Chain A
Amino acid sequence: MAITVPRPNLNWRERMYLPAIVAGLAITIKHFKNMLFGRTRVTMQYPEEKWDASLPDYYRGAPALVRDEDGRVRCVACQLCEFICPPRAIKIIPGEIPSTNRFAKVEKYPEEFDIDMIRCIFCGMCEEVCPEQAIYLRKDYAITGFTRADMVHHKEKLLEIGGVMHGVVLKWNEKK
């Protein structure tokens, strides 16, 4: 069905087109001037200015492993995070803690703990599922690398990001 679009009736001033042009030029030069004299708020200049300070506590950045106050890696290699991880970014090879060790009662530790940051979707399921509270999502968001291999965070890297977490779960302490 054909629709006739109604055209507005312009008066002579509007038809002349010039006042509209002048008004438009005035608006753009106003924006130019405000920007020139720094009166316009513009977007954050990223590499120089960062929003790290204003990140909320619940921010989900890169996942990381933490140590407890004794310096033990909290992870007990139960592999729950590996199973829950939706994109299957986590790979754990468990190892046994020798009986002579102070933490022998803990039984297992991760020999290798890799998170492929190309796969990771920052969903936080690993943090939620972890019974030991050993894996946390930290505030690192700029994860870069030149190769795919660079983008895999190994255990050392994960521990470096994670650092030490003090007394949240201490259920192994009495058995040490």
Chain B
Amino acid sequence: MAYFIVTSLLKIVGILFLVILPMVSYSVYAERRVSAFIQDRRGPNRVGPAGLFQPIADIFKLLLKEDFTPRTVNTFYYWLAPCLAMMPAIITIAVVPFGSTLFGVPMVIADINVGILYVFAIASLGVYGIVLAGWASNSKYPFLGGVRSSSQMISYELSLGLAVIPIFLLVGSLRLTSVVRYQIEHGWFIAPFIGDWMNPWKWLLAIPMLISFVVFAIAIFAETNRLPFDLPEAEQELAGGYNTEYSSMKFALFFLGEYAAMITGSAIIVTLFFGGWHLPLPSWHGGFHWVFVDGNAPGWRGVIGGLFNIATFFTKVAVLIFMFMWVRWTLPRFRYDQLMRLGWLFFFEIALVNIFIAAGILAFIRP
């Protein structure tokens, strides 16, 4: 029991302070660089080599600014909202398996059997931070931002939930580690190239999975308030939206919370569709075959394998974060009625039909 508590604490501290929080601040830096490159600019390149110390300078700037609370706000909720914006994004990562094993310890903080339900339950709490911020600020633009955010989240939560059902029809368990296990044995859901990859039924099954992936990814965009669905912020129309009245570190919590949510969303997409921490290495010793690497090998090879799995997972996450940024700097924002139309008339239906397609295919094959 004590061993479990100590390893869990180590995992929490390690993953949060060594991986997630640096990743959050560096994704802000990456966003600025990527946007600059896409717009033929250089981006921040002054602080340190290639501007790599920019996040540290930003943090100092945000900490040292005056933390101003306007007189007209509802103070309790005004203070509560930034915490509620940051917290769900971070605690969602608890159920995501970010590696195989390291020194025999499974690399997931909480391997609970309701994994994906927990993710949806916590992720939808994120809207409270925004709504409370909009309401407590006692100002019209933040209020509009809060209202928009709540209706947007409700619209896209549906397709988010429906999109993943085909996966769990196939896996038969809500535990995220078993989703990864299934993909190690049968190939990633997007591209089932492992196992008996000659089976045409498996590739047929990849079609509804691909639809699931597209719907899920777009719904994650809407959930994390990223462009093209950033109506709650909409700088041009709402003067910054729900965070207009915030300054200093409270503003930073909203700002970083958005990036933390993006990282969590990417981590879930990776786990559900791209095989999680799994990356087979090709080998030609005695005919072509895939070599499976994980942390169970004895001695230092196990440690290397475990670290390799963790690195694989976060590399996949980083690639998806780049995709988020790429889309953000390409597409314009949707109009509000377009957003609602898209959510209710297209993604909801597509996700619903997709479940039946997947179930129909599954009725003919026994995976």
Q: Which residues of A contact B (CB under 8 A)?
A: 21, 24-25, 27-29, 31-32, 34-36, 40, 42-43, 45
Contact B37 A36 (CB under 8 A): yes
Q: Determine the residue in chain B with the shortest Cβ distance to A18.
A: B214
Interface residues on B, range: 10 to 19
CA distance A156 to B297 in the complex (A): 77
Contact A29 B326 (CB under 8 A): yes
Please choose the segment from B39-47, B164-172, B259-267 that sits at the chain A interface, where 4 or more of its residues have CB less than 8 A away.
Answer: B39-47
The smallest beta-carbon distance between A20 and chain B, in angstroms, is 9
CA distance A155 to B326 in the complex (A): 56
On chain A, the residues within 8 Å of B365 by CB distance are: none
Q: Which residues of B contact A (CB under 8 A)?
A: 34, 36-42, 326-327, 329-331
Chain A CB count within 10 A is highest, among B37, B41, B327, B329, for B37
Task: List 24 interface pairs A-B (beta carbons < 8 Å), by A numbering.
Answer: A24-B330, A25-B326, A25-B330, A27-B330, A28-B38, A28-B326, A28-B329, A28-B330, A31-B37, A31-B39, A31-B40, A32-B34, A32-B37, A32-B326, A34-B40, A35-B36, A35-B37, A35-B38, A35-B40, A36-B37, A40-B40, A43-B41, A43-B42, A45-B42
Chain A CB count within 10 A is highest, among B36, B329, B330, for B330
Q: Which of B36, B41, B331 contacts A21 (CB 8 A)?
A: B331
CA distance A9 to B327 in the complex (A): 27
Assuming the contacts A32-B37, A42-B42, A45-B42, asked whether A24 and B331 have C-beta atoms less than 8 A apart, the reply is yes
Q: Determine the residue in chain B with the shortest Cβ distance to A27.
A: B330
The smallest beta-carbon distance between A151 and chain B, in angstroms, is 25
On chain A, the residues within 8 Å of B329 by CB distance are: 28
The smallest beta-carbon distance between A7 and chain B, in angstroms, is 14
Besides A24-B330, A25-B330, 13 other A-B contacts (C-beta < 8 A): A21-B330, A21-B331, A25-B326, A28-B329, A31-B40, A32-B34, A32-B38, A32-B326, A35-B36, A35-B38, A42-B41, A43-B41, A43-B42
